[in-house]
Amino acid sequence: MQQSLLKRLFWLVVFWGAGVLTLAVAGSVFRLLMNAAGFKS
């Protein structure tokens, strides 16, 4: 039972991390495109 819980928690953390990483990459790409278009923050 304990092993199953740890495995689920591990996968939850993996998917959460992948989601955060994907959002960070998308945000960086969007910022690069905005800078290339001439918009400065």
What is the per-residue pLDDT for 1?
66
Q: Is 11 left (phi over 0), alpha (psi -120 to 50) or beta?
A: alpha
What is the per-residue pLDDT for 5?
93
Tens of pLDDT, residues 4-38: 999 999 999 999 999 999 999 999 999 999 999 98
Q: Higher pLDDT residue, 40 or 36?
A: 36
